Structure 1
């Protein structure tokens, strides 16, 4: 297991600097792509990035209408769903495109908030660039954010919000606890597992010390992992729409 640079190490506020950096980098990529797509909008003959963004917006709109109970709730969720879908697509692909790590001798004293024991456990490998969604704290943080948004929306109609906890059964309370856990863990598990196995393949020794026997497997796994990364961006986003839609009680509509 690799180590990561951090601040406030050993405290409640311990922060993974690699995750923070890649989150900001992902946001910057999304911002630049959207800015370039909208810079020269052509309503008559859209092309290039504008076509891509318009397709993503239509896709998100259809996804929201399939899961939200009313047009009002669709308008509410659309900006967040579109941003989430785009953000997660980029974030999930980062570790497949490039991973940056530096190596220290395990005997080196504490470096970048990493203790000698952690460095030794990671065999001196410190990751500086990776998919932010391969970190459990990141994905669970997103899931908790969705959970808070859904309940905040439900609280606009307190009676229906309270009723949904015991309808159709009191087990709905347990579901409210497990939903954010499975929501975040599903994304983390798929992205982390894909990148971990890819790393094992890349570090496998060559046959006869010169034949890169793992190359076909790496290519196949990259294609499969790219497919999974794309699907998981969609799965997380549509579940977000579903969870918020289940607590949107406009006009007594309830999914």
Structure 2
């Protein structure tokens, strides 16, 4: 597994610079695409990026309506679900489109790239990757969804407290497992896809120049891209489901 530049590597809270950089990069890509979509809006005949964004918005709205109890809950979750879907779609594809790495021959201890760590990967250091291939990023997104869902549920404290024990006290256990499975599902699929792709790319060439793994790489890219797209959808629909389960507007008087 390649090394990453890390700040405060010897502390309990190391900061992965690659993850932070790719999160910012993905956010900028989303902002640019949104700006392009609204730059020349045509309400009668939408074209290009505007047409795609409007289709994605309608898709997300229908997804929210299938999981949220009321129309007001749909309006609440729609911006979050839409941008999460868009962000994750781009983030999940980043490591499949391009991966930037270097081979270091000298350690950089203040970035966590010690001689011992470089020795384990023969000096390979990754500087660009999918942010969702990082466990902390995926779990952080899941915990954020968990916090938002409970914050919305607390608008009706009695119903919020009651739902922990309905239909059984096992609801308390679900509050722990839901964010874990929500984030780990995203991380596991994206990381596994990119890890296997890295192995294929590092395989020795036949006769020193023939990439005998090229057919496998192309097939795996198609499959990994499909999984990356599906995982963006799965994470977003679970986001709507978890927040919808704690949107008690329809039961506020029960």
Query: What's the CA shift string for 1:169-218, capped at 9, x where partnerless?
Result: 11111111000000000000000000000011111111233322111110
Please tell me whether residue 41 in structure 1 is matched to residue 41 in structure 2: yes
| Paired residues of 1:9 and 1:114 also in contact (CA < 8 A) | no
Give matches, 1:1-255, under 5 Å: 1-105=1-105, 108=107, 110=109, 112-252=111-251
Normalised by the length of structure 1, the TM-score is: 0.96
After the TM superposition, list the runs of 4 or more consecutive aligned residues in structure 1 that deviate by more than 6 angstroms. Answer: none
Name the CA distance, whole Å, in 1 between partners of 2:90 and 2:104. Answer: 29
Say how many residue pairs are matched: 252
Name the CA distance, whole Å, in 2 between partners of 1:196 and 1:109. Answer: 24
Shift of 1:126: 1.1
Question: In 2 relative to 1, CA 236–67 (structure 1 residues): closer, same or farther, beyond 3 Å?
Answer: same
Question: In 2 relative to 1, CA 109–150 (structure 1 residues): closer, same or farther, beyond 3 Å?
Answer: closer
Aligned partner of residue 220 in structure 1, secondary structure: helix
Shift of 1:122: 2.4
Q: Which is worse superposed, 203-212 or 95-104?
A: 203-212
Aligned partner of residue 151 in structure 1, secondary structure: helix
Q: For the aligned residues, what is the CA RMSD?
A: 1.2
Q: Which is worse superposed, 227-236 or 244-253?
A: 244-253
Shift of 1:109: 5.3
Shift of 1:113: 2.8
Name the CA distance, whole Å, in 1 between partners of 2:117 and 2:150. Answer: 39
| Paired residues of 1:103 and 1:125 also in contact (CA < 8 A) | yes
Normalised by the length of structure 2, the TM-score is: 0.96
Unaligned runs of 5+ in 1: none
Query: What's the CA shift string for 1:10-41, capped at 9, x where partnerless?
Result: 11331000000000000000000000100110
Q: Which is worse superposed, 120-129 or 23-32?
A: 120-129
Shift of 1:8: 1.7
Query: What's the CA shift string for 1:121-167, capped at 9, x where partnerless?
Result: 22211111000000000000000000000001001101111111111
Name the CA distance, whole Å, in 2 between partners of 1:182 and 1:226. Answer: 21
Aligned partner of residue 206 in structure 1, secondary structure: coil
Aligned partner of residue 248 in structure 1, secondary structure: coil
Name the CA distance, whole Å, in 2 between partners of 1:176 and 1:96. Answer: 33
